[in-house]
Every structure is written in structure tokens, then in C-alpha cells.
Structure 1
Amino acid sequence: MDSRMSNALSRELGDALRRARYESELKFGDLVEELGWSAGKISKLERGTRGTSAVDIARYVGHLRADQSTYDHIMSLAEESSTGHLVREHELAVPDALRALLLHEQTARVIWSYQILMVPGLLQTADYARELIGTTNGEHRVIERMARQEIFNKPRAPWGRFFIHEAALMRAVGCPQVMYEQMLQLLFRGGVRLVTFAAALPASLNSAFSFMTFDDHPPVSYLDGGPVALFSDEFETTNRFRQCCNDLDLVALSEEESRLVFAKWADRYDRLREEQSAPGGEAVA
């Protein structure tokens, strides 16, 4: 097959192939020779810009001598139909290990994120994330969430445009100390804007979402529905989410106005934590 525009599924498959090759002992040149394919064909497969048959994918993985779980995972991707929508299961409240999510966040040029009842995962402090995730999921899940945020430290970092509804500031996650530190994180982080209770919201903003744009392929929308995540790069769907982003721009406070509100909430949680730590004191939200 000739080169093509990649999609979310082909990129996830290509990422799985590339990771399997890195984990094998087979060198790239040896794989080219054993398969009898060109280096360009393998590179395009691993970038998701070229399609091939499931039989060829099975040959590729077989030459890597991958274990059974790796083979089964890759073949499930190779045999999945491309509909423009990907559904991926994950542990409740912890999508941080989803390869489809990590792959797209790491390669995005702009990440739009809108959250209503919580601070976006890419902006959470470790303590705030720990309270949301819960101890049953283990500390490694908190570490995974913090690792996701490292995308903003790379040389060509994505531009984050974060929109948070005021309800998320009122929702106490953990103790006042946790909320105080989280408010400071929002206060000093650029690209964060607040959607207040006073804003008249269009129907498009009744649900949280993320929308990512890229330099070399069409945008991808992401919805987290508890234990299930939905990715979409279907044209009509992503156009609707692009409009949602335009709606956010219209109703949200400016960054400067938002900082003033974050500062007020930081001050409120600061007073609550002081009351809580005073002898005989008990914080009341």
C-alpha cells in the first residue's frame, strides 16, 4: 500500500510495533533483511503512515520473537476496523497509562482541555492526584500522572490551553492544604482560564473534553468516561470539538482575570488550613 494520512488507530499500531522492536534484540537492519522489506516501508508502518495486511504484521512481530501478550495486543490492533473512533478501557480514574493518550499528548502541537469537576490531569499536583486516584490504585499511578506532565518540559513542548469550570475550585479534593497548593499551581501556570458560574454556557460545554491538534495529521478529540476513553479523529466529530474550543474562548475569563480568582481561592484554602491546624480548630468549608 502507498503512503497515506495516518489516523489514531494506525498511529497506535505503529507505536506498538516500534516499541516491540525496541524491546527485541533484533537490529533494524537485520529486520529489513529478514523481512525483505525496504527500510522506508518499516519506518512508515511504525509512524502509522502506511497500511499493510494483518499477515504482514504477524510476520513482523514473529521476526521480533515477541512474547505472546505483545503479539496478541499488536494483532488485536491490526485486525481492528478503522471507524474514526477508538474506545479504550482503563482503570477507573486513571487513564494515564493509555498508549493512545500518551502518544497523542506527546506529539500534539496544541492541547485544549476543559474540565468541570476537577483540575485537568496535566495540571494536577501530586497530592491532588493522589486524593483523586485513591490509595487502592497505588503510588505508581500518581507517578504515571506526574510523568505525563513532563511533555511541557521538552524542547518543542505543546501549547496547553486549559479551561476549568469554577465548580472544580469549590470541590474539596483532600484537605485544605492540598487545595491550597493546587490553587497556587493554577495561579502561577500560564494558559489556564476559568469558566465561572455566571457564564451562560452553550450546550457544547456541558461535558468535559480534550482536543489536540498536530503539525502532520488531523486533530484528535478525547473523552474520558470513567473506565472508558473515547478517541476520535473523524472529520465531522473533530469539527464539532473545534467549535467547542471556540465557544470556550468566548465564555471564559481572560488569563489575568482567572489568576485573580485563583488567588482568592488560594487565600480561602490558606485560611481554612490555618483554622484546621490551630489548637482545637476544625476547618469548615
Structure 2
Amino acid sequence: MDSRESNALSRELGDALRQARRGSEIRFGDLVEELGWSPGKISKLERGTRGTSPMDIARYVGHLQADQATYDHIMSLALEANTGHLVRPHEIAMPDNLRALLLHEQTAGTIWAYEIINVPGLLQTADYARALIGSPNFEHGVIGRMTRQGIFNRPRPPLGYFFILETALHHVVGGPQVMYEQMLQLLFRGGVRVVTLADQLPPSLLSAFTFMTFPDHQPVSYAESGPMSVFSDAPETTDRFRQACGDLDRVALSEEQSRSVFATWADRYDRLREEQRGAGGEAVA
């Protein structure tokens, strides 16, 4: 197959191939020679900009001498039909290790994130994430979430546009101390805007979503629901999410107004944590 525009599935497959090669002891030049392929073909496969047959993918992985789990994962991607929508399972509230999510966040030019119940994962403090994930056995999930946020520390980070429905500010996660620190982070972060309930929400804003754009391929939308997430690069879907981003920009408070809201909630949670300390028990927001 010739070069083509990549899609979410082909990029996930290419990323899996690249990860497998880098984790093997096979050098790139040796792989080229053994397969009889050009370096360009392998490079394009790993970028998701070139297709090939499942048999060729099996040969590629076989030459890497990958373990059975790696082989099975890659072949499941190679055999998956490209419908424009990827459904990926994960532990509840823990999508942080999904390669499809990490790959697209790390290569995005812009990220629009809208949450209606919680603070967006890319803005959460470690204590907020820990309380939200819930189990102490899921500490790796907290580490994964903090690692994801590292995309904004790069020399050329993506532009982040974050929107939070005001109900999420009422949702007490981890107690007043955790919420106080989270409000301060939102206050000083910048690029975060509040969507109020003063007016009826447009239908496009009744569910949380993330919309990512890229310099070299089509946008990808992402939505999490319980133990699974859905990625889409189908134009009819991404066009709707692009319109939803316009709705967010239209109805949300300005950044300055939103900072005032975060400051008010920080003061409220500050008082609650002091009351909690004075009473020696739990305070309720």
C-alpha cells in the first residue's frame, strides 16, 4: 500500500510497532535487511502513514522476537477495522495509560477539555487525583496522571483550553484541604474558564469531552464513560465537537471572571478546612 493520511487506528498501530522495536534487541538496519523493506516503509508504518497487510505486520513482529502479549496486542490492532471510532477499555477513572490517549496528547497542537463533574485530568493536583481514583492500590494511576501533565513543561507545549462546569466546583473530592489546593491551582494556572448554570446549556455541552487538533493530521475527539473511552477522527463526529468548542467559547466566563470564581471557592474551602480542624472532624461543603 502507498503512503496515505494517517488515522487514529493507524497511529496507534504504528506507535505499538515502534515501541516493540525499541524494546527489542534488533537494530533498525538489521530489521530493514531481514525484512527486505526500505527504511522509508518502516518509518511510515511506525508513523501510521502507510498501510500494509496483517501478514506483513506479523512478519515485522516476528523478526523482533516479541513476546506473546506484544504480538497479540499488535495483531489485534492490525486486524481491527477502521470505522473512525476506537473504543478502548480501562479501569474506572484511570484512562491515563491508554496509548491512544498518550500518543494524541503528546502530539497535539491544541487541546480543548470540558468537564462537568470533575476537574480535567490534565489540571488535577496529585491529592485530587488520588482521592478521585479512590484506592491506594491505584497509586500508579496518580503517577500516570501527573506524567501526562508533563506535556505542558515541554519547550513547545500544546495550547490548552480548559472549561469546567460549575457543578464540578461543588463536587467535594478528598475533603476541603484537597479542594482548597485544587482551587488555588486553577486560580493560578491560566487558560481555565468556568461554564455557569445561569442559562440553559446548549445540547452540545451536556457531556464531557476532549477535542484535539494537530499540525499534520485531522482532529481527534475523546470521551470517557466509566470503564471505557471512545476516540474518533470521523469528520462528521469531529465537526460536531469543533462546533461544541465554539459553544464553550461563547457561553463560558472569561478567564478573569473565572479566576474570581476560583478565588471565591478557594476562600470557601479554606474556611471549611479551618472549621474541620477546629471541630476535629469532617466539614461538609
If the TM-score is normalised by the length of the shorter chain, which range does it land in?
Answer: over 0.9
Cα offset, 1:282, TM superposition: 5.4
Match of 1:50 in 2: 50
> Aligned pair in 2 of structure 1 residues 182, 52: CA closer, same or farther (>3 Å)?
same
Match of 1:113 in 2: 113
Indicate conservation of the 8 Å contact 1:199/1:252, yes or no: no
Cα offset, 1:200, TM superposition: 2.6
Cα offset, 1:199, TM superposition: 3.2
Which structure 2 segments of 5+ residues have no match? Answer: none
C-alpha distance in structure 2 between counterparts of 1:45 and 1:134, whole Å: 39
Percent identity reads 76
Match of 1:263 in 2: 263
**TM-score with structure 1 length normalisation?**
0.98
Counting only pairs closer than 5 Å after superposition, residues 1-285 of structure 1 correspond to structure 2 as: 1-135=1-135, 137-279=137-279, 283-285=283-285
What value does the CA root-mean-square deviation take over the aligned residues?
Answer: 1.0
C-alpha distance in structure 2 between counterparts of 1:242 and 1:189, whole Å: 24
Cα offset, 1:279, TM superposition: 5.0
Cα offset, 1:185, TM superposition: 0.6
Cα offset, 1:90, TM superposition: 0.4
Which structure 1 segments of 5+ residues have no match? Answer: none
C-alpha distance in structure 2 between counterparts of 1:97 and 1:199, whole Å: 37
> Aligned pair in 2 of structure 1 residues 280, 191: CA closer, same or farther (>3 Å)?
closer
Cα offset, 1:281, TM superposition: 6.5
Q: Deviations over 1:30-60 (max 9, x none)?
A: 1000000000000000000000000000000
Q: Which amino acid aligns with 2:247?
A: D
Q: 1:87 is paired with a residue of what secondary structure?
A: strand
> Aligned pair in 2 of structure 1 residues 105, 280: CA closer, same or farther (>3 Å)?
closer
> Aligned pair in 2 of structure 1 residues 52, 281: CA closer, same or farther (>3 Å)?
closer
Q: 1:231 is paired with a residue of what secondary structure?
A: strand
**TM-score with structure 2 length normalisation?**
0.98
> Aligned pair in 2 of structure 1 residues 273, 67: CA closer, same or farther (>3 Å)?
same
Q: Which amino acid aligns with 2:134?
A: G
* Count, aligned residues: 285
Cα offset, 1:149, TM superposition: 0.2
Q: Which amino acid aligns with 1:192?
A: V
C-alpha distance in structure 2 between counterparts of 1:83 and 1:279, whole Å: 57
